[in-house]
Amino acid sequence: MDVSLKLLSESLLSFYPAMVKYIQFPIINQLWARLSIYALISLLFIDKSVFPKLLSGTGILLAITSVFHVWSSYVGFKNLESGVSYSIFYVYPLLIILLAGNKFKFYYLLPLIGVFLLSYPNFKNGASKDHIIGLLGIIGATLSEVGIYFMVKRLQNKNPWNTVLISYLLPAIFLTIILNKKAIPNEPNQSYKQLLLLILGNALIGVIGYTLRFYTINRLPSNLYGILSYFGVVMAYVYGYMLNEEKITIMKIMGSLIIVISALFFFQ
């Protein structure tokens, strides 16, 4: 059952790269929508054990890291193709294994080869500003996801909704104050269809996907959790093709496969 929930989580969350790229709202407004929707929905399901942890050192650090993670991932998703950005992002489970104290082995270099193959087509004729920004963004998202994993482990919330609230409530309040009435800009190129996708994408796909991810972090062995995470890479390519008509090339397939195959070594 836990394996099925993990696969469902990854299939939902891998929709984000294509969705962020498709919706024309500025990143800051998409960020606010996600933080606010996640926080409001989680309030319905939390228990009282969340309150001491909400303002704890680990809780505040998790909130700061989470908002940076969402912002940097959106920058990466906006400026890179869905499958490429998600494949690079999924170096994070391998970094978790390294930071857990494992000795270095030659196959630890395989993910870097995969990332190179994914990035090379965008940089071979001179890197554009957008590609550089996108790559830096997705690297920031990758590193912050590693930090989130260990912080969630440390908090040990039995109720995953508590973790969602801790991650998003304080940043949502802070960003609401900053944006004030400009949270949802009224611009001609932003249709009601995109607004609906923004709301439902976060309320259904995002909240359910992240809650299941937090739920399975404490219920699956690290090696199995890591391998199952790579199901999202495949789905990111599917969504990118369906929503944004992004082409799937041999180079992208090779780079992604190398990253996925390396996971089999890491998590054996």
Q: Where are the alpha helices (DSSP H) in 55-159?
A: 57-79, 82-89, 92-99, 110-123, 129-155
Count of CB atoms situated within 10 Å of the CB of 105:
10
More confident of the two residues 180 and 38: 38
Q: What's the pLDDT at 266?
A: 64
- DSSP letter at 48 equals T
Q: Which domain holds residue 32?
A: 2-266
Q: What percent of the chain has pLDDT over 70?
A: 89
Span 56-64, average pLDDT:
96
Q: What's the pLDDT at 229?
A: 81
Q: pLDDT band for position 35 (50/70/90)? A: very high
Res 115 pLDDT > 70 = yes
Q: What's the pLDDT at 235?
A: 84
Q: pLDDT band for position 127 (50/70/90)? A: low
Q: What pTM does this model have?
A: 0.84
Task: Please give the mean pLDDT across all residues of the chain.
Answer: 84
Q: What's the pLDDT at 243?
A: 82
CA separation for the pair 58, 43 (Å, rounded):
20
Looking at the structure of the chain, the number of domains it has is: 1
